[in-house]
Amino acid sequence: MLPASLLGAVFDLSRRPHYVHWHFFQMSVTNLLVIVLMIVVFAAAILLPFPHRRAEP
């Protein structure tokens, strides 16, 4: 495995993964982050005002 710097990665994500456990539920921190981000982006998409022109009749 070549060092991250040689292949352009600023952060090396190939290290030991981190996981969250709750009863039988297990998920990687990264995957959890992705899901949370999806929910946040969805909420932002429907709440943030969308710039638009005046409507023509």
Binding residues for other proteins, per CB under 8 A? 1, 4, 6-11, 13-15, 17-19, 24-31, 33-35, 37-38, 41-42, 44-48, 50, 52-57
Q: How is residue 20 written in tokens?
A: 């969250």
CB of 22 to other proteins, least distance (A): 12
Region label for 51, one of left (φ > 0), alpha (ψ between -120 and 50) or beta (otherwise): beta
CB of 6 to other proteins, least distance (A): 7
Alpha-carbon gap, residue 43 to 20, rounded angstroms? 24
CB of 51 to other proteins, least distance (A): 9
DSSP three-state, residue 12: coil
